[in-house]
Structure 1
Amino acid sequence: MPKQSTARRLLAYALVYKFRIIGALLILCCAVGAELGGPYITKTIIDQHLSKEAGELSSVLVLLAFYMGLLLLASISNFLQSYLLQSTALRIIKNMRMDLMQHIQRIPLRYFDNTPIGGVVSRIANDTEAIRDLFMSFMATFVVSFVQLLGIFTALFILDVKLALYCLLLPPLFAVIMIIHLKYSKGFISIMRARLSDMNAMINESIVVMPIIQAFRREKVTLQEFEVLNDERYVNQIKQFRVFALSSRNIVGTIGSLVTALVIWYFGRGALESAISFGVFYAFIDYLGRMFQPIIGIFDQLTNAQRAFVSADKVFAVMDMEGVEVEKANDTARPEGIVKFDNVSFAYKAGENVLNGISFEVRKGETVALVGHTGSGKSSIVNLLLGFYEPDQGKITIDGIDTASMSKQALRKHMGIVLQDPYLFAGDIKFNVSLHNENISIERVRSALRDVGAASFIEQLPGGYDEQVVERGSTLSAGQRQLISFARALAFDPSILILDEATASIDSETEGLIQEALKVVSEGRTTLVIAHRLSTIRDADQILVLHRGEIVERGNHDALMALEGRYYKMYQLQKGGAPSSMAASTVNPSTR
């Protein structure tokens, strides 16, 4: 069963620190033994000293000193066992969180295509934190409670065997109540965790697209959508609290009061018959009162335990996903950069091909441009080349070696990519160029930024190359971010360079600077360019025109213009000088 599997896997994480846990449990036993010795010492004082007409004061003082010593031992032991268990729980969760983060690096991109970012964040942050509560709170409470109950029943049997046997009926009764509690609250907790994940996903999405939300006045609609999720979580949390209130302190306290009343009646009758001593009566009531505290403690932590198991199911579901091991690529030889697609077909969803029979070759140092309308398959070709996905048919080779046989790290080591919307990390500018690569010195960073024309504006910043960049580089202009991303590609010195619509969002004035940077970066490298602005690829060695996942035209700029086909019409449209025949051809489905 999944629950058992989850429990075994959680146990496996705990067993890594089994000696620390065993040590904590041994100290815990000392603490419980010291605590439970108190009522028995009090019983001895009452029966053997205070009940006599002339009790020995020295014996009483010795017993009291022993009692104080036990309390001190219990206090020190409780601190030590609590520290050991809590610190061990933190280590367990640290390991689990790292395992989860490492596995996410191995998961294919298809998972992230269909999973909201907030959901992934919730797995790493919220769900592992809920599991931490299991190890820190429930595990400690459950073990402490079990040892306490074992010690209490041992003491009860020493005091009165017959009544202790009656008290043995209580644990099974409370176990049944706990099972009912777990059965009814599990569904509520599962919905609560699911809605929390949905809320995180929505919050993340809302923050990322906040300009769009405000521009299109979607604030109220977004708030209403969030309120639906928030209300559903609230309703299920209230239902879960009702179950908890009925089955925890309320019912345990009621049963405890009834049992205590029965014990008093039992001992009261025995006292009249002179069958027991007052000391035994006091000790039994004291131990009985202590019995219900650990049970209440377990009930109080049941919600945390259930939440932890639900979260653990979600975490392990991610960790069970098939992933590709991140391999080292230190010894990978630099390729010449001869890229070949041989009859490649690919679909993100089965039966819905986005590429059909794609074949082309890019020789060393050549620049090939991919053009076509949105959805024609340009980015899919790049995704396949980078190894983010595997082709369904055909093969892709670099220097004649099938990329499917190469590790992803070796495949990407000598590739560089510049995106349409370049991503800059939180950190300084020099970090965003070198990405902490040990082989890239600060001199190389400065040289790369200077070569692409970025040094002029960087040196005017207050911090220069140490200027801090906020997440996504929102404090810099689009052109400045793009130049830094070009410098990053140049610093890594790839043999294959991929430019994914790198000039699509740049203004005309900045475009000239970007074009110069592009020439610097692509010089001597095999370059694939995805372009919307056809004016930027006039000098490409080969232009591939894609339409509905197929290459419908290929050649250099002059050859394609002479052909007067799809590329010619696209170019004329962008120049604003479409021929008169264009109007007729655009309504013809065969030319779309």
Structure 2
Amino acid sequence: MKPRTTERRLFDYAWLFKRTILIGLVCLVIAVALELTGPFIAKRLIDQHIVGIENQWYQVEREDDYTVQYGDALYKRADRISETDETEDMATILQVKRTYYFVPEDVPTTGSRSVNGNTLTIEGQENTYNVEAQSLSLQQLYRFFQPEIPSIYWLLSIYVGLLMVASIFQFAHTFILQKTSNRIIEKMRNDLFAHIQRLPIQYFVNQPAGKIVARVTNDTEAIKELYVKVLATFVTSIIYMFGIFIALFLLDAKLALICTIVIPIIYVWMRMYKSLGGRYNTVVRSTVSDMNGNINEAIQGMSIIQAFRQEKQTSDHFEELNERHFTYQRKLVRLSALTSWNLVNVMRNIAFVALIWYFGSSSIGPESIVTVGVLYAFVDYLNRLFQPVTDLVNQLPQLEEARVAAGRVFHLLDEDGEVIENRSINRYSGHIAFRDVSFAYEEKDYVLKDISFEVKPGQTAAFVGHTGSGKSSIMNLLFRFYDPQKGEVTIDGYSTKDWSRQQVRSHMGIVLQDPFIFSGTILSNVTMNDDRISREMAIKSLKAVGADRFIEKLPNGYDDELKEKGDSLSMGERQLISFARALAFDPAILILDEATANIDTETEQWIQQALEVLKKGRTTLVIAHRLSTIQTADQIFVLNHGTMEEQGTHQELIDLRGQYYDMYQMQQGSVKKSVV
């Protein structure tokens, strides 16, 4: 199956809201149609009611709204004569330069004109006419215009009314499309964040957090501009241009056909801009991600940076990224500056040259091949035509930025995620078995080799060994953060692969060496905003592990707000909250990943008491460096470079005088020296 393009996938997201988008587009079409009536109304107003007095006039007997008193007679324009009118002599009104003349006979209204005294000469292609003419004073001329004034007011009122209605539809179209655009981005961000939570742990190991954050925030914000601004501008401009071309073809098909040359020019330019702009934007978006990752890392490690006086090196690295970002942004700006405004100006000037060439100099003379109204309407539509062209060209930078950003977002969405299966399973008893398990993070580089052991329900098992021995990898397999390449991990006789990852973890709890505290209250850190954990259950858990000793001293007690990562609490206090969190969820299997490694001796007594409460009635797996904390464990497994070296109780391993014995003696010696 052919993979979908970025443009197609962006369209698919928009198609989810097709109904509201269609309503918005209908409003847009109506608004454009109403707005484009302006030049047609102006054409009629000029040709029929302003320039139209230059016409033949009949002398009539009966007075009505269209008759004009001149001398002792009533005159009515030829195109206003009805079947009931009784006509007599015919006269003609002609304009020569800025003066209008009354000719008391029927003469042509075309041809070059000149006046000598009271004689008006009309030179046509075949005949020349010399006729007596009377110049009209301003007051007399106004009389001939007076019958047209009501129609002029009526046409202007219609145009204003149409513009007001068009503004209502324009508002509706803008509101609907922008609201829908925000809904599209909301949907995309939700999909992206949900997909991130389905990604395997290995993905986060290989990707800096800042880069992932940039995809969810910066890149989706760029796509938002596509839907909110770029797409709306493109749709509006295309519909507007389509309406203008229809109007141009109605006025003059040949000249309208000449104007269509702007369409292939725009298309070719968009293809060229997509090639160059896309290349530059790819570097810009990638650099923004790198900058986010760099900033995130610098903030997280600021204490280390300052302690080791690495401010200059850190700044140099950031400046290198910032310089790259500036360089390619400058290329984008140069690309846009060289073309956007200049390109439209060139096309506009070419169009007006074509207009002059087509109509010729005679277009503004008495023998014009078109009326003044048509000429005005054509010029008006040409001016209007290049406004959407300008809008289209000016949106190309945002279009390419959004397209590149969308490619990055969809690349993340295309990462293989895990199937989410939250269907509940019965609480297992916690009988754990590893059978001939071998596991490698990288291909064939095994960190666990033929590991086999068994932990019965309710037992406490400890895993010890030097750094890199494979202790944490065993926990990763048990939690199904990864699956082994060889062997099998079972819980209560069921392979963990028979359940979804969520089902495996549904009855497990974990306490880490460095407990993670979320922004929020102490209670929300225990309940994790899970409806199944009530306030009473959370407080009971906190009291059970002894956390009430310090919580009740806080200003707001259990509702005290915690800062990011719980920096307002000591390490021991954070650890107690993480114990309460594990206890509140009542797991069948509890994993303690060096939970007491960073705790001082005094606080460790609290922690040990909390651990005893926590371990009751559940299978507990402990990763420990301090061997003194695991002496009461039912089983102790000693790992060395991914292999199981020894296993047994504390006393059995001491009697064995193997690796565990050496480690114990070493730690005991360190303790004695520290005491001395």
**Taking structure 1 as the reference length, what is the TM-score of the superposition?**
0.95
The offset of 1:394, in angstroms, is: 0.3
User: What are the within-5 Å matches in structure 2 for residues 130-529 of structure 1?
Assistant: 130-267=222-359, 268-272=361-365, 273-330=367-424, 332-529=425-622
Query: Judging changes above 3 Å, is the alpha-carbon distance between structure 1 residues 373 and 411 closer, same or farther for their aligned structure 2 residues?
Result: same
Which residue number corresponds to residue 23 of structure 1?
A: 23
Query: Judging changes above 3 Å, is the alpha-carbon distance between structure 1 residues 159 and 569 closer, same or farther for their aligned structure 2 residues?
Result: same
The offset of 1:261, in angstroms, is: 3.6
Q: Deviations over 1:161-211 (max 9, x none)?
A: 221111111211222122222211111010000001111111111111221
Q: Supply the AA of the counterpart residue of 1:30.
A: I
Q: Deviations over 1:533-557 (max 9, x none)?
A: 1111111111111111111111111
78-87 or 173-182: bigger deviation: 173-182
Q: Is residue 2:97 matched to residue 1:5?
A: no
Query: Judging changes above 3 Å, is the alpha-carbon distance between structure 1 residues 516 and 280 closer, same or farther for their aligned structure 2 residues?
Result: same
In 2, the alpha carbon distance for the partners of 1:269 and 1:169 equals 25
In 2, the alpha carbon distance for the partners of 1:28 and 1:352 equals 62
The offset of 1:259, in angstroms, is: 2.1
The offset of 1:499, in angstroms, is: 0.1
Query: Judging changes above 3 Å, is the alpha-carbon distance between structure 1 residues 169 and 4 closer, same or farther for their aligned structure 2 residues?
Result: farther
456-465 or 208-217: bigger deviation: 208-217
Q: Deviations over 1:516-575 (max 9, x none)?
A: 111110122111000011111111111111111111111111121222221112112222
Which residue number corresponds to residue 582 of structure 1?
A: none
Q: Supply the AA of the counterpart residue of 2:375.
A: F
In 2, the alpha carbon distance for the partners of 1:263 and 1:394 equals 82
Give the counterpart of 1:77 among 169, 176, 182.
169
In 2, the alpha carbon distance for the partners of 1:16 and 1:143 equals 18
The offset of 1:577, in angstroms, is: 5.9
Which ranges of structure 2 fall in alignment gaps of 5 or more residues?
Answer: 54-143
Which residue number corresponds to residue 41 of structure 1?
A: 41
The offset of 1:3, in angstroms, is: 9.1
Q: Match of 2:395, SS?
A: helix
Question: Does the aligned pair in 2 maintain the 1:118–1:198 contact within 8 Å?
Answer: yes
Question: Does the aligned pair in 2 maintain the 1:418–1:502 contact within 8 Å?
Answer: yes
Q: Deviations over 1:120-164 (max 9, x none)?
A: 111111111111111111211111111111111111112222211
In 2, the alpha carbon distance for the partners of 1:171 and 1:446 equals 70
Question: Does the aligned pair in 2 maintain the 1:414–1:493 contact within 8 Å?
Answer: yes
Q: Match of 1:60, SS?
A: helix
Query: Judging changes above 3 Å, is the alpha-carbon distance between structure 1 residues 170 and 3 closer, same or farther for their aligned structure 2 residues?
Result: farther
The offset of 1:576, in angstroms, is: 2.1
Give the counterpart of 2:153 among 56, 61, 76.
61
Q: Match of 1:359, SS?
A: strand
Q: Deviations over 1:329-380 (max 9, x none)?
A: 43x1111111000010000000111100111000111111111111111000
Q: CA RMSD in A?
A: 1.6
Which ranges of structure 1 fall in alignment gaps of 5 or more residues?
Answer: 580-592
Question: Does the aligned pair in 2 maintain the 1:145–1:297 contact within 8 Å?
Answer: yes
The offset of 1:2, in angstroms, is: 8.9
Question: Does the aligned pair in 2 maintain the 1:569–1:578 contact within 8 Å?
Answer: no
563-572 or 236-245: bigger deviation: 563-572
560-569 or 99-108: bigger deviation: 560-569
Question: Does the aligned pair in 2 maintain the 1:21–1:85 contact within 8 Å?
Answer: yes
Which residue number corresponds to residue 52 of structure 1?
A: 52
In 1, the alpha carbon distance for the partners of 2:482 and 2:260 equals 61
Q: Match of 1:356, SS?
A: strand
Question: Does the aligned pair in 2 maintain the 1:572–1:578 contact within 8 Å?
Answer: no
Q: Deviations over 1:368-412 (max 9, x none)?
A: 111111111100000000010001100000111100111112111
Which residue number corresponds to residue 183 of structure 2?
A: 91
In 1, the alpha carbon distance for the partners of 2:234 and 2:290 equals 32
Instruction: Tell me which stretches of 4 or more aligned residues in structure 1 moved more than 3 Å.
Output: 1-4, 264-269
User: What are the within-5 Å matches in structure 2 for residues 113-124 of structure 1?
Assistant: 113-124=205-216
Question: Does the aligned pair in 2 maintain the 1:339–1:361 contact within 8 Å?
Answer: yes
**Taking structure 2 as the reference length, what is the TM-score of the superposition?**
0.83
In 2, the alpha carbon distance for the partners of 1:439 and 1:137 equals 43
The offset of 1:448, in angstroms, is: 1.1
114-123 or 253-262: bigger deviation: 253-262
In 1, the alpha carbon distance for the partners of 2:543 and 2:363 equals 97
The offset of 1:225, in angstroms, is: 0.7
Q: Deviations over 1:25-57 (max 9, x none)?
A: 111011111111111111111111111332411
Q: Supply the AA of the counterpart residue of 2:604.
A: E
Q: Deviations over 1:485-539 (max 9, x none)?
A: 1111111111111000000001111111111111110122111000011111111
* Higher-helix-fraction structure: 1
Query: Judging changes above 3 Å, is the alpha-carbon distance between structure 1 residues 326 and 25 closer, same or farther for their aligned structure 2 residues?
Result: same
The offset of 1:4, in angstroms, is: 5.4
Q: Match of 2:191, SS?
A: helix
Query: Judging changes above 3 Å, is the alpha-carbon distance between structure 1 residues 287 and 233 closer, same or farther for their aligned structure 2 residues?
Result: same
Question: Does the aligned pair in 2 maintain the 1:41–1:67 contact within 8 Å?
Answer: yes
In 1, the alpha carbon distance for the partners of 2:332 and 2:621 equals 57
In 2, the alpha carbon distance for the partners of 1:31 and 1:117 equals 46
Question: Does the aligned pair in 2 maintain the 1:3–1:309 contact within 8 Å?
Answer: no
Q: Supply the AA of the counterpart residue of 2:563.
A: V
In 1, the alpha carbon distance for the partners of 2:619 and 2:44 equals 91
Query: Judging changes above 3 Å, is the alpha-carbon distance between structure 1 residues 475 and 578 closer, same or farther for their aligned structure 2 residues?
Result: closer
Question: Does the aligned pair in 2 maintain the 1:128–1:315 contact within 8 Å?
Answer: yes
In 2, the alpha carbon distance for the partners of 1:449 and 1:359 equals 36
Q: Match of 2:632, SS?
A: coil
* Higher-strand-fraction structure: 2
In 2, the alpha carbon distance for the partners of 1:108 and 1:415 equals 18
Query: Judging changes above 3 Å, is the alpha-carbon distance between structure 1 residues 437 and 3 closer, same or farther for their aligned structure 2 residues?
Result: closer
49-58 or 24-33: bigger deviation: 49-58
Which residue number corresponds to residue 128 of structure 1?
A: 220
The offset of 1:310, in angstroms, is: 1.0
Q: Match of 1:321, SS?
A: coil
Which residue number corresponds to residue 73 of structure 2?
A: none
Q: Is residue 2:636 matched to residue 1:543?
A: yes
Which residue number corresponds to residue 70 of structure 2?
A: none
Query: Judging changes above 3 Å, is the alpha-carbon distance between structure 1 residues 578 and 446 closer, same or farther for their aligned structure 2 residues?
Result: closer
Q: Match of 1:544, SS?
A: strand
The offset of 1:265, in angstroms, is: 4.8
Q: Match of 2:529, SS?
A: coil
In 1, the alpha carbon distance for the partners of 2:497 and 2:199 equals 16
Q: Supply the AA of the counterpart residue of 1:533.
A: R
The offset of 1:281, in angstroms, is: 1.3
